[in-house]
Chains A and B, each alone.
Chain A
Amino acid sequence: MISQAIPEASIYQPRPAKLIRTEAIAEREKLFEFEFRDGGELGHKPGQFVEISLFGIGEMPNSISSSPTKNCSFELAVRNVGNVTSALHGLTEGSTVGIRGPFGNGFPIDKLKGNDILIVAGGIGLFPLRSLINYVLDKRSDFGRLMILSGSRTPQERMFVSELEKWQERRDMELLETVDRGDEKWTGNVGVVTTLFPKVDIDPQNTFAITVGPPVMYKFVVAECKKKAIADEQILLSLERRMKCGVGKCGHCQINGVYVCQEGPVFSYAEIRKLEEAI
C-alpha cells in the first residue's frame, strides 16, 4: 500500500550517445563531442553536468563544456584521472556511451543577463565555464562586459589554447591569463590566479563573479571578490563532490543539508557561507 505512483522509466537508465569527434586539449585532457543516437537534444544550461557511462567500467559526473546554443551535439572535456576517464580517453569515434542528465542547476542565466561577468577559472575549471563563455559570446548583446581571469599551473597545462587565443583577439571581451610556474617561452603573467585581480577594474554593483577551479582556490578567490566589494549573492561557485546517482538519492555529494547534484553544483557565496563544509 503506497500512494506514490511507480514511474515508467528508470532514472538510472542512460541514453545511448555516439562519440562523433575527439580533440586533444592538453596532455591529460581531451574534448569529446557526442550526439544522441535517437537524434534528440541534451537541452542543457551552461553549468549543468551529465553522468556519462562506459558500461563495464562505470559512470561518472562530467560538466558540459559546450554552449546550448550549439545545437544537436554537445561536448564534454575530460581529464584522465581514473577508470572511467581513462577508458573514455581510449574511445574511438563512432563508439557508444551512455548519458544521463543534464543534472544540476547550472549558472543562473536570467540573473546574469544585463550584468557584467567576471569569470575566474583555475585549471580544468575552464571546462564548465567554457559553456557559459560561449553562451555569452553567442548572445553577446544580452550581457555586459565579459572578463576572464584564467590560471594554469604551467604553460603546458593551459586548456583550450586555440580558443584562448581567439578570445584574446576579440574586442568584446577581456582575457587575462597567468601560470603558477612559467618556462622559457612563457612571456605572460606568473603567479596564482588571484594575482590577476588587481589588473581588472569592475563595477561591483553590476558584476557577477563566477569561479570554478580546484577546492583550494575558492577561499582566495572569494576574498579577492570581496575586496572588490562584490556582494556575496553575486559571487558564484561551482563545486565538485563525489557523485554516484546524480539524482539526489545516493548521498555522496551532500554538503550539510544540500545535495550538490540537485541544488548545485552552482552556489552563490551567500549560500555557501551557511554551508560549513563547502569550501
Chain B
Amino acid sequence: MENRIIEKQNMDVFVNNLINSDAEVVGAKRKDGKYAFGKLADATELCLDYDLALYPPKSYLLPPKETLIKFELGEELEAEPVVEAERVILFGVHPYDIKAIELLDVAFSGTNPDINYLSRRAKVTIIGIDCLNPNPNAFCASLGTATTDTGFDLMLTDIGASYVVAIGSSEGEELLGKYAVTREATQSELVQRDEQRQKALAKYKVALSMSAEDLPELLDKSWDSPVFKEKSEKCLSCGSCVMVCPTCFCFDVQDDIALNLKQGERYRQWDGCMLVDFALVAGGENFRRDSETRFRHRMYRKGKYLWERYGKLGCVGCGRCASACLAEIASPAETFNTLKEERRQHD
C-alpha cells in the first residue's frame, strides 16, 4: 500500500477542494458538546481528533427511512423501484466504523443483493482516520477493529505535524492527486504512524477478558445464564442501543399513500430487535415477548449469530450503545465479560 503525507496546514485545502467538488462531504462536527457526522460547509467545521461520533456513518448507506418503491393505483397497477444515490465522501471515519461498513457490505450483497444499499455504497468514498483518543466505552482493541487495512479509499493517521495517508484504492489515489498537496512519506514517518497506533491501543479503558474468536463458543454455553435476566430488568426497550449501532441493520417495511389515495410509496425504516413488537405476528404471538429474550438475542447477534452467518462479528466495539443506554446495561463487553467470569467459576 502506498503512503503519502499531507502537511497539517494543507489539510483544509484538501477538504475544501473536496467540498467544492461534485460530492457531498460528510465529517464529524461538534453538536451540543458531542460529535456527529454531518454535511460540511467548510473545512473549519471538520473535527479529525474526535473520540466518537454519536451516530455511525451508517445512515449514509442505510438511511433511517428510505423509499423502496413508488406506486400508483389504478386500472393497471404501476410500481417502480426507487433507487437514490448521491455521491458522498465520508471524511474522517474511524477504523471500527469502517469494519462495520464491511459487515453491512456483506449483509446487503451475497445471494440477495440489495440494490438500494449497493447503489449508495458504490457512490460512497471512505476517507478513514485512525482513532487516537478512544471513547471511554470503546473496546475496539479487543476486537481487532482499532485499526484496519481494508475497507477505505484513503486512511489518515495524525502523526503530529502531518498526516500519513495510506492509499486503499485507485479512487482514493485519484482524489489525492487531484485535490491535495502531498509528498512521499519517509520511513521514519511510517514508524511514527505505528507508534501512534500502538499508543492509542494502550488507551482503551474497556477490554474483553477473552479473545474475540472465543465469543461464539462462550455464548454457546451461556444461554441459561442469569445475567440476561438481571440486566434486562432495567431495560426500557427504548431501542437506543440498536439505533446507534453501526452494525445493526434490521428494518421495517411499510406503505404510505397520498391523500388522493392513488400515488404512494413503500419505504423501509430502521427497526430493532430490542423493540417490543419486533417479533410479534398477527395472531398475537410474540416470539420474544419479554425483555430478557430480546436482550439475550441482541447479545447473541453481536457475538455469535452474525459471526456464524457472515464471518464477521456483529460488534465492532465502538461503545456507542453503552453511551446511549440510560439504563447502563447495553455494553456487549460488559455482558460478555460477566459470562466469561461465570464460565470460569463454573469450570
Within the complex, are A and B direct neighbours (CB within 8 Å)?
yes
Q: Are A4 and B107 in contact (CB under 8 A)?
A: no
Q: Whole-angstrom distance between the alpha carbons of A98 and B70 in the complex?
A: 13
Q: Are B249 and A249 in contact (CB under 8 A)?
A: yes
Tell me whether A96 and B76 are in contact in the complex, defined as CB-CB below 8 angstroms, given that A1-B168, A59-B266 are known contacts: yes
Q: Whole-angstrom distance between the alpha carbons of A9 and B71 in the complex?
A: 16
Q: Whole-angstrom distance between the alpha carbons of A105 and B63 in the complex?
A: 31
Q: Whole-angstrom distance between the alpha carbons of A251 and B297 in the complex?
A: 11
A182 interfacial by beta-carbon distance below 8 Å: no
Q: Are B118 and A2 in contact (CB under 8 A)?
A: yes
A250 interfacial by beta-carbon distance below 8 Å: yes
B55 interfacial by beta-carbon distance below 8 Å: no
Chain A nearest Cβ from B119, distance in angstroms: 5
In the complex, which residue of chain A has the Cβ closest to the Cβ of B220?
A274
Q: Are A252 and B250 in contact (CB under 8 A)?
A: yes
A245 interfacial by beta-carbon distance below 8 Å: yes
B residues less than 8 Å from A10 (CB atoms): 68-69, 81, 83, 115-116
Tell me whether A9 and B281 are in contact in the complex, defined as CB-CB below 8 angstroms, given that A1-B153, A4-B109, A244-B251 are known contacts: no
Tell me whether A4 and B285 are in contact in the complex, defined as CB-CB below 8 angstroms, given that A56-B71, A249-B249 are known contacts: no
Hey, what's the 0/1 contact readout for B290-311 against A, CB within 8 Å counting as 1?
A: 0001000100110011001100
B261 interfacial by beta-carbon distance below 8 Å: yes
Q: Are B73 and A242 in contact (CB under 8 A)?
A: no
Q: Are B305 and A11 in contact (CB under 8 A)?
A: no
A114 interfacial by beta-carbon distance below 8 Å: no
Contacts between the two chains (Cβ within 8 Å), count: 147
In this complex, the member of B108, B288, B309 whose beta carbon has the largest number of chain A beta carbons within 10 angstroms is: B309
Q: Whole-angstrom distance between the alpha carbons of A153 and B232 in the complex?
A: 37
Q: Are A11 and B112 in contact (CB under 8 A)?
A: yes
A7 interfacial by beta-carbon distance below 8 Å: yes
Q: Which of B99-113 contact A (CB under 8 A)?
A: 105, 107-109, 111-113
Question: What class of interface size applies to chain B in its complex with A?
Answer: 35 or more
In the complex, which residue of chain B has the Cβ closest to the Cβ of A255?
B287
Hey, what's the 0/1 contact readout for A1-27 against B, CB within 8 Å counting as 1?
A: 110111111111110100000000000
B residues less than 8 Å from A255 (CB atoms): 287
Tell me whether A56 and B255 are in contact in the complex, defined as CB-CB below 8 angstroms, given that A10-B81, A10-B116, A277-B293 are known contacts: yes
Q: Are A11 and B288 in contact (CB under 8 A)?
A: no
Where chain A touches its partner, the secondary structure class is: loop
In the complex, which residue of chain B has the Cβ closest to the Cβ of A56?
B257
B93 interfacial by beta-carbon distance below 8 Å: no
A residues less than 8 Å from B112 (CB atoms): 11, 247-249
Per the CB 8 Å criterion, the residue count for chain A at the interface is: 44
Tell me whether A256 and B249 are in contact in the complex, defined as CB-CB below 8 angstroms, given that A6-B115, A249-B107 are known contacts: no
Q: Are B280 and A251 in contact (CB under 8 A)?
A: no
Q: Are A7 and B118 in contact (CB under 8 A)?
A: yes
Q: Are A277 and B81 in contact (CB under 8 A)?
A: no
A58 interfacial by beta-carbon distance below 8 Å: yes
Tell me whether A257 and B68 are in contact in the complex, defined as CB-CB below 8 angstroms, given that A1-B126, A244-B251 are known contacts: no
Q: Are A257 and B304 in contact (CB under 8 A)?
A: yes
Chain A nearest Cβ from B124, distance in angstroms: 8
Q: Are A1 and B172 in contact (CB under 8 A)?
A: yes
Chain B nearest Cβ from A15, distance in angstroms: 10
A215 interfacial by beta-carbon distance below 8 Å: yes
Q: Are A81 and B255 in contact (CB under 8 A)?
A: no
B residues less than 8 Å from A240 (CB atoms): 281
Q: Are A241 and B287 in contact (CB under 8 A)?
A: yes
Q: Which of A70-99 contact B (CB under 8 A)?
A: 81-82, 85, 96, 98
B202 interfacial by beta-carbon distance below 8 Å: no
Chain A nearest Cβ from B96, distance in angstroms: 18
Chain B nearest Cβ from A101, distance in angstroms: 12
Q: Are A12 and B68 in contact (CB under 8 A)?
A: yes
Q: Which of B54-92 contact A (CB under 8 A)?
A: 68-69, 71, 73, 76-77, 79-81, 83
Hey, what's the 0/1 contact readout for A87-124 against B, CB within 8 Å counting as 1?
A: 00000000010100000000000000000000000000
Tell me whether A242 and B305 are in contact in the complex, defined as CB-CB below 8 angstroms, given that A4-B118, A55-B77, A252-B250 are known contacts: no
B residues less than 8 Å from A256 (CB atoms): 300, 305
B residues less than 8 Å from A81 (CB atoms): 282-283
In this complex, the member of B105, B124, B282, B308 whose beta carbon has the largest number of chain A beta carbons within 10 angstroms is: B282
A-B pairs with beta carbons under 8 Å apart, 26 shown? A1-B169, A4-B113, A6-B115, A6-B122, A7-B113, A10-B68, A10-B81, A10-B116, A13-B79, A16-B77, A55-B69, A55-B71, A55-B77, A58-B254, A59-B266, A98-B77, A242-B287, A244-B253, A244-B268, A245-B251, A245-B253, A249-B114, A250-B250, A251-B249, A251-B250, A254-B305
**When A and B form their complex, which 7 residue pairs have the shortest distance between CB atoms, in order from nearest?**
A251-B250, A10-B81, A257-B305, A4-B109, A247-B112, A1-B169, A7-B113
Residues of A within 8 A of B (CB): 1-2, 4-14, 16, 53, 55-59, 81-82, 85, 96, 98, 214-215, 240-242, 244-245, 247-252, 254-257, 276-277
